[in-house]
Amino acid sequence: MESPTILVVEDDAAVRRGVVDALTFTGYTVLSAEDGESGKAQALSARYDLLLLDLILPHFSGFEILEALKKERPGQAVIILSAKGEENDRVRGLKMGADDYVVKPFSARELLARVDAVLRRTSERKVVAEMLEVQGREIDLTSGVVKFKGKEEDLSEREMGVLRYLFSNGQRAVPREELLRHVWGIETKNIETRTVDMHIAHLRRKLGDEAQGILQTVRGKGYRLVKQA
């Protein structure tokens, strides 16, 4: 099983290095950013399972990154790391969608326990979210049925996998290679295949998406699922 990926956005080099080292030693795949600008860019475009986010950052604050995530990647798991332990900041962060809040200084043991707990809750949340609503379509990923305008279409396992993965990535355009790797389990090095494109075409037909307003092709980047028109 692939280890969870964690994005660390922290401008204090010593804290960032300590957190990255502790996570890496535990077996997580770790991405990192040293300021709000690169942190926001990665938070909105990279593939990761959990964001560890400082609040006070150059260029963009942690709150601004949380606000962007709320629009682009709702449901993204976030733990705030901050020296600001005041209750109003804590409450504000949690109201904006953060899953937990760890006040500096913290021990590696405490942080790892919080990370494990949030990843567990997030995993359980994803298992439950098997009924999707996308632009008037009801998609049941348990029974594999799409309902739209009184009609029903059956979905294959691969089609359900594609929809589930695109949905979980918010508004991010997902490259074909990434879909092949995570939905089909295929490493794409030196492989030419139209499998993803064929499945997208079948899904568009089943979703009544002739105008490609739901499953959008983003030139040079991949495919994006648009949840609301």
Residues 25 and 114 in one domain: yes
Domain boundary among 128, 145, 169: 128
Render pLDDT for 39-57 as a digit per residue (tens, 0 to 9).
999 998 888 999 999 998 9
Q: Decide: 40 and 66 in contact? Cβ < 8 Å.
A: no
Long-range contacts for 192-200 (Cβ within 8 Å, ≥24 apart)? 196/162, 196/223, 199/158, 199/159, 199/162, 200/162
- Rounded to whole angstroms, how far apart are CA atoms 11 and 13? 6
Residues 100 and 201 in one domain: no
Kindly state the average pLDDT of the residues 34-38: 95
Q: Decide: 160 and 141 in contact? Cβ < 8 Å.
A: yes
Render pLDDT for 103-133 as a digit per residue (tens, 0 to 9).
888 999 999 999 998 888 776 555 445 788 8
Q: Is 84 helix (H, G, I), strand (E, B) or coil?
A: coil
Q: Decide: 67 and 96 in contact? Cβ < 8 Å.
A: yes
How sure is the predictor about 194, in pLDDT bands with cuts at 50, 70 and 90? confident
CATH of residue 170's domain is 1.10.10.10
Number of separate domains in the chain: 2
